[in-house]
Amino acid sequence: MANEKKEKKRGSIVKRMIIAVIAGFVVGFLCLVLREFLNGNGNEGVWNIVDAIFFQDITATDGFEGLGLLYIIGQLFMRGLQMAIVPLVLTSLSLAMCSLANPERLGKIAGKTFITYICFYVVAAALAGAAAYFVRSMGWFNVNLPSEMATEAVTMEGYNPLTAVITAVPSNLFSAFTSNNEILAVCVVAIIMGLCMTFLGEKADPLKKVLENLNDIIQMFLNFLIDRVGPVAIFCMICRTLAVYGVEYIRPTLVWMITTIIVSLVLVSTIYPIGIFLTTRLNPIPFLKKSFKIGLFAAATNSSAATLPLNTKTCINELGCTEEISSFVLPTGMTINMNGTTAMHMIAITFIATAAGIDITPSTLVMAAFLSICTAMGCPAIPVAGTTMVYVVMSGLGMTSELCMIGYSLVLAMNYLPGMAVITLNVIGDAATNVIVNFKEGVLNKEIYNKMD
């Protein structure tokens, strides 16, 4: 009953998000038409009043007389997300590492599971990054910035990527926690903390309990923020973006959506079959056919948790995996295997940076991949969590300008359809890893695996 209520609540959130996106585009488009009509007929003063009441950036030097109602709502939502970033990464990632490395579950199975997941992470990030870089090079993410916003375009300063190794370890622990621009250091601290708690065992239980309670508080806050404020904020951000900045942002956003969907579907149909063949020499066709319904169910429910029972049943009854290993690999994968999220992050970061006038280089994408993998492994079970965590990667790369926020708001608002493809990549990756680990442990039932009904 509790699970049914939870899924109904999640479904209602998704519906309200979709309604907010549609309403935002409709109202925003009407405002855009009104703006062009008034300005074209010499009634700029009327539009200036409308702009001051609803759309004005009240933090700008010329916005002190405006109300900026839609701007205020959007900013409160974004700042609420930003406020939770550091504690969210610290608690979720440290607890994920602690859970993974629990001495009672540690061993060959855990090691093989972790290594397999990491390999899929790296491959997905590399291929998605290459695809995003290709789309960017073709100019499909390009945006003609309004002249008044051109000063917001920034470029990243050149630096030796190896400096990230030094800055990843903070000289002052608390300084890393006081800035959203040092997320890489927070990730490293969280990983170290999680591993240290593991080796301390029961001595670290009080700290672990504190982190668990803090994580629960953060997730409750984010659930409230996204559930109650999210749809309204998304409506306001889309409406304001269309009204103020025009349609030049919409085309590249659609390109981002299509690119994410295509890349996710290509990855799910290539890296997992190839991974199974290279590690087990088994025919990957039975896996693809039997796991198809897993991906379809995940896309329909948009929930890894809801897909777990079907994934477990399919792995045991149709793919020949043992219940013992499946009971560890699949729940662990539901928690830490978010390579689809990482693939989406690579494309989203490239889109946002390009839209904001930031030059993305291969070394920048490598850093983005590392940050994304770290944050995705600790990604909490909240609605649109993967897209929310895009801001973590943005902060780690210093992408905090106004134009970056505009691009991010569009990515956050238009996440639903790409999310259906992304979650498919996640859950089928769990099943593929389960098959590989069972085979390596010598317990995979090949007769059941190869049986085709």
Taking only the tens place, the pLDDT of each residue in 193-215 is: 888 888 888 888 899 899 889 98
Structural domain boundaries enclosing 260: 85-224+247-450
Q: Is 75 inside a domain boundary? A: no
Alpha carbons 252 and 352: distance in angstroms, whole number: 10
By C-alpha distance, which of 181, 193, 218, 75 is closest to 393? 181
- Is residue 44 assigned to a domain? no
Q: Looking at the domain assignment, is residue 12 inside a domain?
A: no
**Pick the residue with more confidence: 241 or 121?**
121
Domain-located, residue 326: yes
Least confident piece of the model among 10-19, 282-291, 313-322: 10-19
The answer, yes or no, to whether residue 287 has pLDDT greater than 90, is yes
Note whether residue 432 is domain-resident: yes
Rounded to 5°, the CA angle 335-341-344 comes to: 180
Q: Give domain status of residue 232, yes or no.
A: no
Of residues 394 and 96, more confidently modeled = 394
What Å distances lie between residue 430 and 308, 314, 340, 433, CA to CA? 10, 12, 11, 5
* Gap between the terminal Cα atoms of the chain: 34
**Whole-number Å distance between alpha carbons of 238 and 29:** 10
**Above 60 in pLDDT, residue 10?**
no
Average pLDDT over residues 341-353: 90
Residue 371 has pLDDT above 80, yes or no: yes
Q: What percent of the chain has pLDDT over 90?
A: 19
Task: Copy the structure tokens of residue 328.
Answer: 């560890």
Domain annotation covers residue 11: no
Does residue 30 lie in a domain region? Answer: no
Of residues 383 and 350, more confidently modeled: 350
What's the mean pLDDT when you consider all of the chain?
Answer: 79
Share of the chain above pLDDT 70, in %: 80
User: How many domains are there within the chain?
Assistant: 1
| DSSP label at residue 382 | S
Write the CATH number for 297.
1.10.3860.10
> Which is more confidently placed, 252 or 172?
172
